[in-house]
């Protein structure tokens, strides 16, 4: 971590106008992802990203004003599908089905690229991301609370705490599973659902 210069801008420097530029941005993001999952935060630096992308360091800084902006863009790319899945659960009616859907979405997300997800989770905690409401965790908590409001949901003392705990259980379990290389998402989702329902329904 050399140079602690401006780190205020987190949004992209400029949008790519031509298809060529869009491709460059995509390649840069994928290179960043690969480095993070292979070398971890330790080996994650902009020079390495540019090299791995086969793009000059100057091009990287055409689109991202600084390293954190690149990280944020990657977080957004990685969580896009998860957020779609989470929002889709809003359509579901019923407590159990809702919970099953949310758990399945979280498991699928984390098992897609476990090491990457873990690094980005850590970075998200450090970055001054835009409004808390936009953060992935907060949006999942919102979906959880909607499930808790279903007619067939168990009675809960404090929905906020229940949502936070549920999210923590899911994150903890899928994170650990990803780390030890577990790949069977069906079995994992079943166990996570068991833990979550056990927590929520136990008197």
Partner DNA sequence: CCATAATATGAGTCATTACTCACTTTACAT
Partner DNA sequence: ATGTAAAGTGAGTAATGACTCATATTATGG
Which residues in this chain contact a copy of itself in the complex, by CB under 8 A? 1-2, 40-42, 122, 125-126, 161, 164-165, 167-173, 175-177, 179-180, 191, 194-195, 197-202
**Rounded-to-integer distance, Cα 110 and Cα 37, Å:** 12
- Build a one-symbol-per-residue string for 166-195: x at contacts with DNA by CB under 7 A, - elsewhere: ------------------------------
Tokens standing for residue 126:
């450090």
Q: How many residues sit in the footprint of DNA (CB under 7 A)?
A: 33
End-to-end Cα separation, the chain, in angstroms:
49
Give least dist CB 21 to DNA, A: 3
* Region for 94 from its dihedrals, namely left if φ exceeds 0, alpha if ψ lies in -120 to 50, beta otherwise: left
**126 forms part of the interface with DNA (CB under 7 A):** no
Nearer to DNA, 7 or 145 (CB): 7
Choose, by CB under 7 A, the member of 10, 24, 114, 173 that binds DNA.
Answer: 24
List the single partner that 132 binds among a copy of itself, DNA, none, CB under 5 to 8 Å by kind. Answer: none
From residue 59, give the alpha-carbon distance in Å to each of 14, 35, 54, 65, 101: 12, 18, 10, 11, 40
b/e per residue, 68-84, with b = 16+ CB within 10 A?
bbbbbbbbebbbeebbe
40: left (phi over 0), alpha (psi -120 to 50) or beta: left
Radius of gyration of the chain (CA): 19
| Residues 48 to 67 in contact with DNA, rule: CB under 7 A | 48, 55-59, 61-62, 65-67
Nearer to DNA by Cβ, of 29 and 86: the residue is 29
Confirm or reject binding of residue 5 to DNA (CB under 7 A): yes
Q: Is 127 in the site for DNA (CB under 7 A)?
A: no
3 binds, among a copy of itself, DNA, none (CB under 5 to 8 A by kind): DNA
Phi (first) and psi of residue 94, to 5 degrees: 105, 140
Say whether residue 203 binds DNA (CB under 7 A).
Answer: no
């Amino acid at each position: 971590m050399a140079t602690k210069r401006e780190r205020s801008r987190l949004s992209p420097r400029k949008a790519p106008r031509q298809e060529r530029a869009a491709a460059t941005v995509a390649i840069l993001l994928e290179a960043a992802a690969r480095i993070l999952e292979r070398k971890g935060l330790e080996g994650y630096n902009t020079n390495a990203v540019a090299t791995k992308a086969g793009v000059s360091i100057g091009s990287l800084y055409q689109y991202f004003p600084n390293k954190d902006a690149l990280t944020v863009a990657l977080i957004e790319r990685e969580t896009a599908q998860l957020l779609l899945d989470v929002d889709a659960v809003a359509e579901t009616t019923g407590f159990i089905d809702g919970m099953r859907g949310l758990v399945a979405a979280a498991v699928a997300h984390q098992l897609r690229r476990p090491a990457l997800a873990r690094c980005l989770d850590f970075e998200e905690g450090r970055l001054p991301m835009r409004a808390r409401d936009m953060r992935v965790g907060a949006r999942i908590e919102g979906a959880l609370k909607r499930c808790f409001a279903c007619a067939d949901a168990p009675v809960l003392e404090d929905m906020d705490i229940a949502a936070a705990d549920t999210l923590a259980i899911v994150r903890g379990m899928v994170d650990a599973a990803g780390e030890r290389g577990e790949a069977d998402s069906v079995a994992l989702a079943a166990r996570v659902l068991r833990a979550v329902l056990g927590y929520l329904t136990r008197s």
